[in-house]
Amino acid sequence: MPSYIMKLVEVAERPGMISFATGLPDNSYFDTAALKESAERVLGGEGASSALQYGATAGYRPLREKIAERCRSELGFDASADDVFMTNGSQECFDQLGRMFLNRGDMMAVENPRYLGALQSFSSYGPDFRGIGMSDGGPDEDTLSEAVGEGAKLFYSIPNFQNPSGRSYSISARRAVSDIISGSGCLLVEDDAYGELGFAGRPRTRCYWGPSPRRSLPG
């Protein structure tokens, strides 16, 4: 099928166009000098073999350890390098999830509206998409409960700065989603592409996806 994302990129490349549709960063913010310095440091030292050679399927372990450390410190949940699997961008991640968990005709709950790139990747596996309406606080709980009760295999969710609406789930909505999903056999797929890009920091910092918080939470 034609790529929705590539069509949006083509529009964004038109002279004078400022596109809010694809998550393209402003070119003026690319720190090319620092990137060049980093590349020279890696390729000029012992790291060259790791950067240029085939590696473990799960990804470069020191990087996975760093990501796990940030999960513990920034998100407040336990994680180790063995819990981290590297992919070549979100599209590969969505494809792997669809390959592992979806058969043609399986129900999959998705936010409505939802991110087109994810929708296209998951579409390759022929699921029956069930749209979950969104309010300012989060997804419609009754519709989500109904979809999960009817056997939805996955719920694809963007709780922080949802694409395309820009909304973020409230604390109560996160706990409600956790209650609905818990023990159901439905897998919650959280896409947190923009979680660290808020003007006032990460929304719902250190929020626990569960009915009983482990620590005091911001409002």
Whether 70 and 102 share a structural domain: no
Reply yes or no on whether the pLDDT at 4 is more than 90. Answer: no
CATH code (residue 178) = 3.40.640.10
* CA–CA separation, 204 and 171 (whole Å): 7
Q: pTM, whole model, 2 decimals?
A: 0.83
In a domain, 13, yes or no: no
In a domain, 208, yes or no: no
3-state SS class at 93:
helix
How many Cα neighbours within 13 Å face the side chain of 10?
6
Q: What would the two tokens of residue 159 be? A: 């709780």
Highest averaged pLDDT of the listed ranges 89-98, 147-156, 162-171: 147-156
Number of domains the chain is built from = 2
Residues 56-60: contacts with CB under 8 Å, at least 24 apart: 58/84, 58/85, 58/86, 59/84, 59/85, 59/86, 60/86
Question: Can you state the percent helix, strand and coil of the chain, rounding each to 5?
Answer: 40, 10, 50
Tens digits of residue pLDDT in 102-123? 999 999 999 999 888 899 899 9
Whether 133 and 166 share a structural domain: yes
Q: What would the two tokens of residue 86 be? A: 């590297």
Tens digits of residue pLDDT in 80-92? 999 999 998 888 9
Domain that holds residue 69: 57-86
Residue 1: per-residue pLDDT? 62
